[in-house]
Every structure is written in structure tokens, then in C-alpha cells.
Amino acid sequence: MIGIFDSGFGGLTVFKEIKKALPDYNYIYLGDNLRAPYGDRGQEIIYQFTEQAVNFLFKQGCDLVILACNTASSDALKKLQQEWLPANYPNGRILGVIRPLTEEATKVSRFGKIGVVGTTATIKSGAYLRELKHLSSLARLCPTIKAWQQACPLLVPLIEEGWLDKTETRMILKKYLRPLKDQQIDTLILGCTHYPLLMKEFKRLCGKRVNVLNAPKIIAAKLVDYLQRHPELEQKLVKQKAVRYLTTGDPKTFSKLGGKFIGLEISAEKIVL
């Protein structure tokens, strides 16, 4: 079984594409809505919350867990992979969303000028900049990478309020993007799983010269490739097309708003971490 974890609703944009690319597998989606958002929390508490969620998913029988949350991937993934997983679930796997997006950005960038937008915690962690610097040092993808980042703290609450087409949202997004456009970036990484819901506005404001990466599709494609390269894991995954949606918050609210994120009616269960 594959577990998908996010602090709230945003990871549903990723799960939607994963389910489309890999429809036969069993999935559990877990949103920690009771304690969301993670974006303005400290690194220690983000790690603690993420560890609790990942532990719950492995106890439910997951063999692979995807941190479909940029904040969790930034502040918790490395420690979970290197320290927690070997001690607790040595046969399990945990993957994040930062590596797939930075790899794609370095491949498609024409001039190596890459912008990153995300929550305050994701941007403060510097995880995207470190990963881009690492890839640049390998000198095999894009050896002259320059990267700039911009925190966009107001976008998640606006998206969750359904203000996708509001003038106010467009004005705020335009202001956030201005420093990156001033650097003449040619590629933009949406470092938050909520942001694809504003893809049209990102593309419109960035213009045709900027490649705004479709993060959910990229992450799904990278997962397909990962499973092909790890048949020992793929063969363990149950293929009964079963999906469970879990939330630490109100299941009715999750079902209603989550359905808008994923584009279909869903029924969520409440759990306690």
C-alpha cells in the first residue's frame, strides 16, 4: 500500500496525478488538518508531526510513504530517511517532493535561472536552494544554476477559502512574483502543493518566457519511474484499487473541500495522531 501524507488538502493535487498514473494500487491519504498549516511552524514541531503521521501510515500497512508536502519534505524527510526509518521500518521507503522538482527544473531550464515559491517554512529551510546547488555541483544537468526564492504566506489561506479567481489573490500573487521576474528567471518551481490550483495565474503573470513546472504531474511521473527501478518494492504493493481518505480534522469539511482539490466526491474518516 502507498501512503500519501500532507499537512492538509494540498497533497490531494499530487495524489490526483499519482492515482491517474498508477490507478491499480491501494492508497491511504492522510491530511493533518487539525494542526495545519505547517508553513509557519518551527522545524522541530514539523518533524514531530510528520514522524507521527508517517508512523501511523506504516502501522496501517503502507510499504511506501510519499511526503506530498513541501514543508514536511524540507524539514523532516532527511532525518526520517537516515535515522528514523532504519530503526523503525527498515523495509519501508519514504519519498519527498523536492528532489523530483529540482531535477526537472535543472533539466528544462534554458539559462539556469530558477525561481522557487513556497510557504515561509519551506523557503526558510533553504531546502530547494541546497538541492539545486547539489545538482549544479554534479555538473551533469545544468552546471550554471542560479536560484532565487520567495515566500508566499498568504496564498494557502486564500486558496483554501476558494479565492482562486479573486482580484485580491491576483494582486498578491503579482507582488510575490515581482522579485523573481526582476531576476529574469526562466523556470519556476511551485514549492507548495496548493499552488497548482493557481497554475493559470502563475503562467499568466510569469509570461511565456517562464516555464512554470506542473509539480503534481512531475512527482507522479517520477514515482512511476521509481517503482520501475525498484521492482522488489513494487511487487509488495497491493493492487486492489482501494483508497482511504483520513484526516485529523473534521471529516465532513475535509470531504467537501478535499473533493474540490481532487475533482471528485470523497468520504473521509477522522483519526487521531
| Catalytic site positions | 69, 192
CB of 246 within 8 A of CB of 59?
A: no
> How far is Cα 120 from Cα 177, in angstroms, rounded to an integer?
15
Phi-psi region at 267: left, alpha or beta (left = phi > 0; alpha = psi -120 to 50):
beta
**Helical segments of 62-145, H only:** 70-75, 77-79, 85-88, 98-108, 120-125, 127-138
Q: What is the DSSP string of 166-187?
A: -HHHHHHHHHHHHHHHHTT-SE
Name the nearest CA neighbour of 113 among 140, 136, 144, 139: 144
DSSP-derived 3-state class of residue 113: strand
Q: Which three cell numbers stand for residue 124?
A: 526558510
Find cell 498514473 and name the residue: 21
